[in-house]
Amino acid sequence: MTKNSIRLRGVDLRYAALAYRERSLKSALASCWRRRPPLPDIHALKNITLEIQAGERVGLLGHNGAGKSTFLKAVAGLYPVSGGELTVQGQVRALLDLSLGFEPDASGRENILYRGLLLGLSPRAMREKEAGIVEFADLGAFIDYPLKTYSAGMQLRLAFAISTAVGGDVLLLDEVIGAGDANFMAKAKARIAQLIARAEILVLASHDLAALQSLCERGLVFDHGALVFDGDIKQAVRFYQKLNGVT
């Protein structure tokens, strides 16, 4: 039986700058009158080589835009790499973009099915989990109302309840708990703790250095797309602080 693992060998990932240009009639007309210099492609990950084995708890550190989220999305299979080799063994559960796959005109209950399908689960599996998801989200009668009538906090509660209804061998987290009332936050943290305990591999990106040190043993520091440190989490935190002038 193959052990769960994440392996990267010389991985590069580039975004085409064309995707970031404004696409509108106004911008098209404006471009007829003035020439814009070509934008260089964004080199989001640069020659990343590392291996994460079963049993490891790994924290990702870096400034905004350093490459942490891109790394997680590449491992999750959401972003194709531009070069090198990336292999992942094990079932991946990624809590990254919680709003992914929501349909505003559909009800909360219908969105449970839609989001479940995106997570790779069958309609039957989602029906079996529906009652537990509804109970955890605690939206009352709103569960049968269109999602466009929800507040941002209500959408977060439903998204979190769906995304965490199933665990995985490889758990990828990107600071997903950012809003909600005190009671929901307590429930969310408890569920995250359960998912972490069950997962064989944890990769967590966070700006909360205390949380990283309490949950992880290994730290990866990213800087402008490059992996600049890989080692003990406490040493990684000190390296990150020195790199960014934090005392």
Sequence spans of domains, the chain = 5-90+205-243, 108-199
For residue 33, pLDDT beyond 80: no
* Rounded distance between C-alpha atoms, residue 121 and residue 228, angstroms: 37
Position 156 confidence tier, pLDDT thresholds 50, 70, 90: confident
The pLDDT tens digits of the residues spanning 158-215 come to 999 998 888 789 999 987 665 567 788 888 888 888 999 999 999 999 988 998 999 9
Burial 224-238 (b: 16+ CB within 10 A, else e): ebebbbbeebeebbe
pTM over cut 0.85: no
* Rounded distance between C-alpha atoms, residue 200 and residue 167, angstroms: 10
Q: Domain 5-90+205-243 is classified in which CATH homologous superfamily?
A: P-loop containing nucleotide triphosphate hydrolases (3.40.50.300)
User: What is the arrangement of strands in the sheet containing 83-89, beginning at the earlier edge strand?
Assistant: 42-53, 5-15, 83-89
The pLDDT tens digits of the residues spanning 63-74 come to 999 999 999 999
